A and B are shown apart, each in its own frame.
Chain A
């Protein structure tokens, strides 16, 4: 496990070296390390955030110094504590819980998925078959980022992978489901975006009034549920 500085007020903990070998295993290891670090309540820590293979520990160096770190070795001192917390045996209280399964309704194609036909052409499948395969799979949320509530989902059937659009769209409607490379994701808010849009969900992925504000969390299992455009219009949560 490598720990490197992310500036003077954060450390990046590399839990796994690689993602390709087994992305789901990498995710589980990152989530386990995250739970341990949360439970360890390290001095001066402001927040923790996970990505595919890493956890960032944001802290206030002044508070770490006040907690007893030597002035010339703040990172080393905190790094030792991070390492100890992560390599500690699992405390049953922080042991893995079964990941949640979240169903996301999606209306594929038409005005809600303007790039579905392009994806069909690129993959040699019919638009209906692209939608069927996309909604048949089970995905996992590797991390939330890019924009508030945006889930990076792993588990896209490899035949649906597609290079990003040459020119990103200036504005993508909220709820749009996109394919970018070997990933699929959901735009929670209207934003620019370079992924191919194959459908749209009426579900609200981000709410500033909820805690946590993001509907999805790292580790969640996600299934897409195909709905008609009529169901999209009348959808209530």
Chain B
């Protein structure tokens, strides 16, 4: 009886352990020849280029909404000149990195999980192994590395779009000039507000790539496995991104104390 009750916990712990070993294997194989440069470039193009419309439209919309929400409050306190600064720092430090990561987890993570699970279900992964080709290096490593490389770039686009839509909003509402908006937007911004939060998205990329590939590559349940892999990839990646964000923010505050002020 007690053994039956312990099973779900044991299974969960086994799954976490398998996931950790999977992540370590990704890191080890990423630095081991042969390097799948061709497939890496394909993944970068697929994940980056195809995510760009989602990132740009979301950045523009969120930047607009954020300005509309904050300007009334800041005007009440006589701080309307701070609207551009608030917009840029919010996007660079937190909104851009976190939102880009969550959007990529939804679009790319689900796709990677589902495609690998389908390859498992249709015996494509077995076929690669049967041909004496390392399926892990061919299918998993390029996807994870592409995620790590692409997410900081997409975050930069997200930041840029947030600032641009903030300007457009301010320009239409208060006729603020571009030059004055940019001056105010970047007055309080340090490189340490931009570079560490953008680099931290590489960790988010690793989480998305590894989690999605883990669920897709290790499934063995046919069509049902494809559905589970897609869902679990998004849910688990998103939760881990938020947890990692808390930890990484503390690390950034420790390394760059001026950011915490």
Instruction: Say if A and B assemble together.
Output: no
Q: Give A residues with C-beta under 8 Å from B.
A: none
